[in-house]
Amino acid sequence: MITIYKKEATVYMVAENKLDAKDYENLIPVLTEHITTYQEVFWYIEMQNFEGWTANAYWKGIELNLPNEKHLKRVALVGSIKWQEQFTEVLLPFSEAHIKFYKTEEKDDAKEWIKKYSKR
């Protein structure tokens, strides 16, 4: 399940439990609209009790295929498990955005990192 809210050029998302294709069907229009509206978009993703993806949702998570994806400038991923940190490294070749992983206890730092660049 995902929860999404937006504030100015930033999209905040909390991912819980296991994501499925329906979650991406909800996420893609929100990101697409935001990327179309703003020249620079920032994305904060927090994983809480996150178990991963269903098989059909896994590749949708890696290859979002968003229009104007170059507008996506920074992505902060917040999680607590080593594989979540390793997943950040898997994402790097699929995006021009600067992607950075933070541990759960560093989530305030992650929000600050996003906020710092979104205010330029």
Dump pLDDT digits (tens) for 9-24: 999 999 898 888 888 8
Tokens read off for 49: 């009790």
- What pTM, to 2 d.p., does this model score? 0.82
52-90, pLDDT tens digit by residue? 777 666 555 545 556 556 788 898 999 887 766 666 666
